[in-house]
Amino acid sequence: MKILHNPQCSKSREALSILQEKGEKIEIIEYLKNTPSVEELKSIIKMIGVRPEEIVRKGEAIYKELYKGKVLSDEEWIEAMVKHPKLIERPIVIKDKKAIIGRPPLKIIDIL
């Protein structure tokens, strides 16, 4: 099991805590330091089952400055998230061939 984690985010910390309480073996990926590649992000988005724009954090300053109001292709959104990983919604939990966005954090129980 993997978690795309931002230790500065309370929701991400809460999700990690839930996984640890359940005794799950977890690989923690601090995605702001170790940003997924384009191919990795495509794979994660496919596992979640959404379009790339649906996992973009629209409240982030970088979104408002560079992307708000723009129409981008799926490929362009993925490239934007790789370039600016703060745009990636968090936390994302990956287990086997499934992934889920942990918002709210208790939602990750669905993947266990």
List pLDDT tens digits, range 23-46.
989 999 999 999 999 999 999 999
Give the C-alpha distances (Å, rounded to integers) separating 7 from 16, 32, 35, 49, 61.
9, 10, 14, 25, 19
Whole-number Å distance between alpha carbons of 94 and 45? 11
Count the domains in the chain: 1
Please provide residue 2's backbone torsions phi and psi, each rounded to the nearest 5 degrees. Answer: -125, 155
List pLDDT tens digits, range 50-94.
999 999 999 999 999 999 999 999 999 999 999 999 999 999 999
Whole-number Å distance between alpha carbons of 112 and 109? 5
Can you give the pLDDT at residue 27? 97
Q: Which domain does 65 fall in, by range?
A: 2-111
Full-model pTM: 0.93
Q: Where are the beta strands (DSSP E) in the chain?
A: 2-5, 27-30, 92-95, 98-101
List pLDDT tens digits, range 44-53.
999 999 999 9
Confidence class for position 112, pLDDT limits 50, 70, 90: confident
Active site residues: 9
Confidence class for position 20, pLDDT limits 50, 70, 90: very high
Give me the CATH number covering residue 24: 3.40.30.10
